[in-house]
């Protein structure tokens, strides 16, 4: 397991859509996951957030992405570029699952210690990811881009239910919730 600084430095070498302060928070919470726990990430793109998570834990990180993003049309994200970035960063504990998260949630049946959601930011998708994977999550949920209206609405609805989940705070746009 690397230090937070080392994990974030490696992650910062990869292009992506997440800020340093958010990577630091991901790394901090990933360090709390026990070796036999599991981290699920929805939305890996080129692996920036995946690297910060994976280098900060010895637990398995499952990375779900349908590779629909077109951050750079000349260099679209793909299973190959994500795998290459993870290998270069020295991540050996990541399982990439190329799948739409709406499909993935239907066959998911494993406990998740820490969930990180950064897939499609439309309300239906954000709701599906947070509620669908959230029901399997035992400890921490982090949701990126929580200022997007659809994401914000999904988080609000998730917290309004009597489920034991409590708002912890934010690191930039990264919303953090913990189960009581
Ligand atoms: C905002 S980017 C993720 C950024 C990434 N976390 C980083 O550190 O740079 C969103 C990602 O979610 C993926 N995505 C979008 N809709 C999805 C869906 N329905 N199922 C799975 N992945 C999806 C996109 O392919 C893209 O890679």
- Angle (deg, nearest 10), helices 20-30 and 4-11: 130
Assign domain 4-179 to its CATH architecture.
3-Layer(aba) Sandwich (3.40)
3-class DSSP state for residue 105? helix
Domains of the chain, residue spans: 4-179
31-49 residue pLDDT tens: 999 999 999 999 999 999 9
Q: How far is ligand 1, taken at its centre, from the CA of residue 32, in Å? A: 24
Label residue 69 left, alpha or beta by phi (over 0 means left) and psi (-120 to 50 means alpha). beta
pTM (predicted TM-score): 0.97
77 C-beta closer than 6 A to ligand 1: yes
Nearest-CA residue for atom 27 of ligand 1: 45
pLDDT in tens, 35-86: 999 999 999 999 999 999 999 999 999 999 999 987 677 777 788 899 999 9
């Amino acid at each position: 397991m690397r230090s937070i600084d080392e994990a974030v430095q490696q992650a910062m070498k990869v292009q992506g859509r997440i800020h340093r302060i958010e990577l630091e928070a991901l790394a901090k919470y990933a360090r709390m996951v026990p070796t036999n726990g599991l981290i699920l990430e929805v939305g890996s793109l080129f692996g920036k957030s995946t690297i910060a998570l994976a280098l900060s834990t010895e637990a398995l990180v499952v990375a779900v992405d349908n590779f629909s993003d077109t951050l750079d049309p000349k260099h679209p994200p793909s299973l190959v570029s994500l795998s290459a970035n993870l290998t270069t960063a020295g991540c050996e504990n990541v399982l990439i699952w190329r799948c739409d998260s709406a499909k993935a949630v239907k066959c998911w049946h494993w406990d998740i210690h820490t969930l990180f959601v950064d897939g499609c930011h439309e309300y239906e998708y954000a709701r599906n990811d947070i509620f669908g994977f959230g029901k399997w999550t035992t400890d921490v949920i982090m949701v990126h881009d929580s200022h997007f209206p659809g994401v914000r609405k999904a988080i609000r609805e998730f917290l309004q239910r009597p489920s034991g989940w409590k708002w912890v705070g934010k690191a930039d746009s990264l919303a953090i919730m913990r189960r009581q």
